[in-house]
Amino acid sequence: MTIQDTSLDAAREHLARRPEPQILTADEYKTVFRQHPAGVAVVTLLGPDGHVGFTATSVISVSAEPPLIAFSIASGSSSWPALAQATSLVVNFLADDQDDVSARFATSGIDRFAAGGWTALPTGEAVLDGALTWLRGTVVQRTPVGDSYLVSVLAAQSSTRPGAQPLVFHDRTYHRIGDHTAI
CATH, residue 160: 2.30.110.10
Split into its structural domains, the chain has a count of: 1
Number of H helices, E strands in the chain: 4, 12
In a domain, 39, yes or no: yes
Read off the pLDDT of residues 14-51 as tens digits, 9 standing for 90 and up: 777 877 778 888 898 888 888 888 899 999 999 999 99
In a domain, 12, yes or no: no
In a domain, 107, yes or no: yes
In a domain, 98, yes or no: yes
Could you tell me the pLDDT band of residue 4, with boundaries at 50, 70 and 90? low
In a domain, 20, yes or no: no
- Phi first, then psi: what are they for 172, rounded to 5°? 65, 20
pLDDT exceeds 60 at position 115? yes
Tell me what pLDDT residue 3 has.
Answer: 54
Q: E-strand spans in the chain?
A: 38-39, 41-47, 50-56, 60-63, 68-74, 88-93, 118-120, 126-128, 133-145, 148-160, 167-170, 173-176
In a domain, 23, yes or no: no
In a domain, 22, yes or no: no
b/e map 82-112, b = 16+ CB within 10 Å: bbeebebbbbbbbbbebbebbebbeeeeeeb
Tell me what pLDDT residue 7 has.
Answer: 76
In a domain, 65, yes or no: yes
Could you tell me the pLDDT band of residue 98, with boundaries at 50, 70 and 90? very high
Q: How far apart are CA 38 and CA 56, in angstroms?
A: 9
Cα dihedral sign for 79, 154, 133, 148?
A: positive
Read off the amino acid at residue 102.
S
In eight-state DSSP terms, residue 87 is: S
Q: How far apart are CA 123 and CA 32, in angstroms?
A: 39
Which range marks the domain in which residue 64 is found?
33-171
